[in-house]
Structure 1
């Protein structure tokens, strides 16, 4: 067994108003919880939006579950209640209060639910604490759960410390995991790595993929699991959001269905800040408030924030530090094009394009109308945009193409239209994933057949 060190029991909340602080408080309060996790005879409350944002496996399970009630239950076997509590804490806050205590169990859970950042944290912890006594157990974990960096550390450590093979841990591994030990032996006799025998994986957590902010931003821009639709501005532009995030970050919005007197682009930035704690910074855009002192916190952004989040002036200050916005007067026409693509409104798309809307206009996520239409499965809208010169292999801020988006959501007809228009099946996003790889990971079998 891996030696355990007891850590603090309290949930690692940040300050209220911070993303992790607000979501940690939401987890503790159980307010607006809409899913129950049954584990080891206990029932834990959680929120669909957070589970869907942080784990592709949970996201798929939530898509497949149908229920007539406002809440649903997911049963989890082969996991201890306290381990699941630690996993939930990470999903809400990016922190694990008892990481070293449950690290061996958490790495299994992270692998099962495809939570890469948690898995990396576990790998780092095990690599830093490898000893002669536990090296065998760590090597077994690394091989069984495909932990490439940890596997290299463990194999190099055993090569450098032959006494590991005389420990009770090695004997126990042979008895309990003979096939895994056979693979370890094969690796031991293979050509040694050029890296240091005791080199640990990088601990630069901030640069890793799958952080809380990144996952929630992806949730916002995809609309996955959204359960609230806000109408914004005079034209009633629609914005799909998540009640759990509203309850945690700006409770006044949770009871509102329409936001008047605010430009949709401004409100979109407010929502971006709600989900991530940051606003988009565009080098070529004009600052809405160039001087916070002169603004007096009375600009349109501050008015929105003061109304919906009156108790948190720091929220406004932070937003001012991050916020810039495009004030181009032609933006309205292009904004309507993006909205029409999101709604699959083909006739409106044709009219807007005929009067000069830019088919290649990109929103704050670097997504074009084609990417939105492809993601939401509107094959006719996709065909219309392509016919009007839309770039079939355009990239968003994550380097995802329309084909990536369509494959992820399982839109077979859209995938077919894009391929016929010359979409690149081998295109890779910023994680090195092709459309086929994404379809395979989330079991989009029919899309996989089209892409092969």
Structure 2
């Protein structure tokens, strides 16, 4: 709290000094077709790069125009807004570009916020680009999260995004590949029981980076706590869709070559478990589908705790609309009842979650 107050006070003092600013206090930032007016004092106070630029005899310092060649206009606008307000924008789609710009201009606090936003939106399509971004701009948290995600979803290396990074950033892809060869040092020596305990804790406290690292290290997604809850139960209660996706796509530890049916093809990720007993689809060395025994028995999104509740029960009870939609998409049984005979729809009605009532009623 003290740090927040200090930042707010600094902002007020710096902006207050602008009232007495004289001629030449404003410079024009030119980024493509975008032109932005800004006070030298603010730019220098926030960014060590601008500070050095205005302290020395540079063209920008004398002309009053600063041409920005490697930051797009909309990104530069958000960067400037942050320098005035010290409030980071919530624009997930712009986060990677804004992170790179924040790194260039030495805005470490903004860079950290953008790093968190990129971590939160990791998916198969952007994992390669996120990993390269992390390596290029020295982002340790994003690096760990992206590497853990790719380890848990090795098919990332067969995507167009990975191929694009290979063409354009080969040096950084090589560095990412090197990190993929070793498990995270904080988890690789842990006993299996401890990995399972930490996986449940990570889901409970929404520590998505830790959860992905543990999954990559082979933690048992079917592990249960004293109440019989699995990490899926906790992620559903918290409504954390990215954790749910990691847990479902990571699934039981059946080896790195396991391939589950694709949701987009109309099948559930856990379909083979229900259709073929304790079997899953895998690829042999020739790329052909084969089946194998599932070493860690789990009903995936339909797993139950000691009260016979599924993750869908917890998501519906707590009004987690996105989590409910995701669980239904990957095969959650909306008709499952708990010890009291209640379905997820019953809990949504009990807690007056009208949007969920509509979703669970029409499906």
Same fold (TM over 0.5): no
TM tier relative to shorter chain: 0.3 to 0.5
- Structure ranking higher on relative contact order (CA contacts 8 Å, 6+ apart): 1
TM-score, length of structure 2 as denominator length: 0.44
